Every structure is written in structure tokens, then in C-alpha cells.
Amino acid sequence: MRTVVVDGPRSIRVDTRPDPALPGDDGAIIEVTAAGICGSDLHFYEADFPMPDPIALGHEAIGTVVDVGTEVRTVRPGDRVMVSSVTGCGACPGCATRDPVMCYAGFQIFGGGLLGGAQADLLAVPAADFQLLKMPEGITTEQALLLTDNLPTGWAAAQRADIPLGGTVAVFGLGAVGLCSLRSAQFQGAATVFAVDRVDGRLNRAAEWGATPIKAPAVEAILAATGGRGADAVIDAVATDASLTDALNAVRPGGTVSVVGVHDMNPFPLNALGCLIRSITLRMTTAPVQRTWAELVPLLQSGRLDVDGIFTTSLPLDEAAKGYAAAEARSGDDVKILLTP
């Protein structure tokens, strides 16, 4: 099979590797029909994370089941499915919460080294009854891919931001996760959403969705717009030292900063005293993907939650290198890249 591999800084190739075997009696093999390039994939591409060996990339995939183990009950060959980007054992009390991060055995993410990458022809999925969901009726390919990671991440970011009804929220970073966070914050009761980015095209897209665009750095503008008090909640979908510092400075006393951006491997210089004095709540979240599906799927099916327009570019798998270069450019034109094996 073909699989997208990163073997050095900004070095992407499509490798040929043996087809995967069933990962146990509870596992499945998926023929991938669409995969997404996520902002967190760029940390490998840009060498933010250590990488002693080439890594098969990707954790966002939908596809068709081609084989299942004897213990799999919820899907069968021929079913179209979504694959949760985050995996758990599916059998412990932690997984019973439908949040794979709570797995007693420890969670894993596809495309991180131990599990195969989702940007491939085939993907081996352990604990298939927990990781897979049959493709719901009325859900598009783009919506389904967002449901594997970015939309649950943005939805959880907004839920954990303690947004008061009619309150103000600032979203830092308008990539796919940031745009999903923006939409989720609006749906969950924010009256005003400040959308912060450095790229005009992304700011324009946020403005079209009813947000107030602010070019980064944004602390002074947010304080001015809120009478010096700060936003009720801040969602940081970037998580650089600069964005985290700005997020903590832009939130009001007693407010919440909800972080879903992926920081690098270096320590962050937290102003703990300032956060203490201002009674700031700081939350960091990895997406509870499976738990969000029961909420998000009906909202998408009904049209009440709209995430159309986040995927901007579609490329064949063999042009993955072009896709990664476009994603790294972080332009207003190429927000989210879809790869088709």
C-alpha cells in the first residue's frame, strides 16, 4: 500500500509498505477514501517534535471496512465509517466515558509512530467498535473528516471555555480547529467572537461568519473593545508562547482560557502569579472525539451547525508533498487540505 511519510524537516514522500494486518480480534482494516492534513501534522513536518525514524503521517480518515476481527460487532466489511483520531482500548472504565484520553491503558493517536498513519491506502484500527462510527446519513465527506478530529476539538474547546450566554469569546488562530472553535462558540451562546489571526484571508472568512476580526497581536484591541476588562473566555488554537501569553492577558479576571493548540516540546514560561491574582482558569484539552459524536452528528444533519467552507483544497494522495507545503504556508486560500488515496 501507499502511505505518506515524513523522513526529515519538510521532507514528505509517498512510500510503499506492506498492507497492515488485523490488529487483533477486536480490530478492523479500513480502505481510506479521504484523509485530512491537520495542523498538528505540521509539527513533524516542521521538526518541532523529535523524529528518530520516518513516521507515517495522518490521524484524520474516513473509509470503507474491508476486514474485521471475530469480536467486532458494530461494523462489517462494506460499511463506510469515520475513524476517531484518538484511540483507547474501548473496554475500561475510562473508555466507558467515551473519551479515549481517559483510557486506563493509555490513549494513542494515529500517525504518531506506534499506530499507522491515516494518509494511506489502508489503515489498521484497533478496538474497532470503540474507534469507528458508521457514516451517518446526510453527512458529507468534509463534515465526516472534521468529525474525526477538528470539530470535536473545537467543540470541546468551546465547552471547556465556560462561555456565558451572551458573553464575549476570543479565538486565537483561524486554521481548521480555530474556525471549528469559532462556530462552536457561536452555537454555545457567545454574542461576540473576536477572531484573531495574522492572515487577512482567514480574518475575512471569520468576518463572513459573523465574528469580529482582529489582526494579531490582539490584546490591546480586545481590551479596548471590552472596556478594559477582557474577554469572558479565550480559546487558543495555536499554543505558541506568544499566543498563550496573549490569551492569558486578553481574558477578564475570573475568565477561562481554553487551549487546544499543540505546543512544542519546550517549557512555557507561565506567569503563575498573574493568573493566581486574577483568578484565571486554564484548561488544556485533547479532543474527546467519540463522546462528541452524539451531539455533533445531529447538529450537522439538521443544518443548525454549519462548518462548510473549512476544507479549501483537495489533492490526490500522491501530491501529499504539495499539500503539506500549502498547509505550512498558512494562507487565507489553503485552510484545510483533503487527500484522496
User: CATH code at 182?
Assistant: 3.40.50.720
| Whole-structure pTM value | 0.96
Number of residues that this document lists for the chain: 341
pLDDT at position 143 is: 98
Going by pLDDT thresholds of 50, 70 and 90, the confidence category of residue 52 is confident
Residue 248: φ, ψ to 5°: -70, -30
CB 115 within 8 A of CB 108: yes
pLDDT at position 170 is: 98
Burial (CB < 10 A; 0-12, 13-18, 19+), residue 322, is middle
The tens digit of pLDDT for each residue in 226-266 reads 999 999 999 999 999 999 999 999 999 999 999 999 998 89
CB 287 within 8 A of CB 269: no
Domain co-membership, 79 together with 139: yes
Give the lowest-confidence range in 82-86, 97-101, 112-116, 312-316. 112-116
Domain boundary residue, one of 238, 257, 284: 284
Q: Which domain holds residue 114?
A: 2-149+288-339
pLDDT at position 60 is: 98
Going by pLDDT thresholds of 50, 70 and 90, the confidence category of residue 131 is very high
Look up the CATH number of the domain holding residue 12: 3.90.180.10
pLDDT at position 6 is: 96
Q: What is the mean pLDDT of residues 78-98?
A: 98
Domain co-membership, 168 together with 193: yes
pLDDT at position 265 is: 86
Give the lowest-confidence range in 3-7, 101-105, 240-244, 263-267. 263-267
Domain total in the chain: 2
Task: Return mean pLDDT, the chain.
Answer: 96
